[in-house]
């Protein structure tokens, strides 16, 4: 897909790169944008649920999220349109943050950052439109996109419920992924019917 033909995807990637790189060297900016349960609860700084999605912890974190968006964003945007794509992205970001907020509500020290919730929503939404497209999971393992999305949701749910402490915001991933999936089911039911037809056609019996 041509990134230049996907203006929203291009704008989001550019914004994330610029803001994240600036924040790498600006602790004050980073601190003002972080997802911070304590300050959201005490000071009602709800903007953090959105701004935290445009900063990253390190260059690798930024690369993984933006590479994933580069892979899936143009396809989804070309299929649903720019404004619908933006809606999926931002709703997934917000739902991911809200899910994380509820999951860590009593942990006032909990902090997070990154676009993973939004990118998760874009990934699962894309999987509903192109379920049997082959991707390289972890850059080496080929698998249908719908299988990857299903495994991703299951692992995120398990890790969030088990409170796995690996530095990854599994609750935000889960919330964002489910938001993307739900939006396709609600607003593009034809894609769901097509997915089911394709799935049934692949069955060996």
pLDDT on residue 204? 67
User: Dihedral angle at the C-alpha atoms of 167, 97, 86, 57, nearest 10 degrees?
Assistant: -30
pLDDT band, very low/low/confident/very high, at 205 (cuts 50, 70, 90): low
Q: Which two tokens stand for residue 191?
A: 């894609």
Q: Which two tokens stand for residue 19?
A: 């803001």
What's the DSSP call for residue 3?
G
CA 134 from chain centre, in angstroms, equals 19
pLDDT on residue 1? 61
Q: pLDDT tens, 27-61?
A: 999 999 999 999 999 999 999 999 999 999 999 99
Q: pLDDT tens, 132-178?
A: 888 887 778 888 999 989 998 998 998 888 777 777 889 999 999 99
Q: Hey, how many other C-beta atoms are within 10 angstroms of the C-beta on 26?
A: 14
Asked whether the beta carbons of 100 and 112 are under 8 A apart, the reply is yes
Domains recognised in the chain with CATH numbers:
3-202 (1.20.1540.10)
């Amino acid at each position: 897909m041509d990134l230049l033909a996907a203006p929203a995807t291009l704008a989001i990637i550019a914004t994330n790169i610029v803001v994240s790189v600036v924040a790498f060297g600006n602790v004050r900016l980073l601190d003002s944008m972080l997802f911070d349960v304590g300050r959201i609860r005490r000071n009602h700084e709800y903007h953090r649920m959105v701004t935290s999605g445009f900063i990253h912890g390190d260059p690798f974190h930024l690369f993984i999220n933006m590479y994933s968006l580069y892979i899936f964003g143009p396809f989804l945007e070309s299929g649903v349109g720019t404004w619908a794509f933006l809606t999926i992205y931002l709703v997934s970001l917000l739902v991911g943050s809200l899910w994380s907020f509820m999951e860590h509500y009593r942990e006032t020290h909990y902090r997070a950052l990154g676009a993973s919730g939004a990118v998760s929503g874009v990934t699962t939404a894309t999987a509903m439109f192109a379920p049997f497209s082959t991707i390289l999971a972890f850059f080496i393992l080929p698998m249908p996109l719908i299988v990857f999305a299903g495994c991703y949701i299951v692992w995120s749910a398990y890790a969030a419920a088990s409170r796995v402490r690996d530095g990854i915001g599994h609750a935000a991933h889960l919330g964002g992924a489910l938001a993307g999936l739900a939006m396709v089911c609600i607003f593009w039911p034809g894609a769901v019917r097509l997915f089911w037809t394709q799935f049934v056609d692949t069955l060996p019996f």
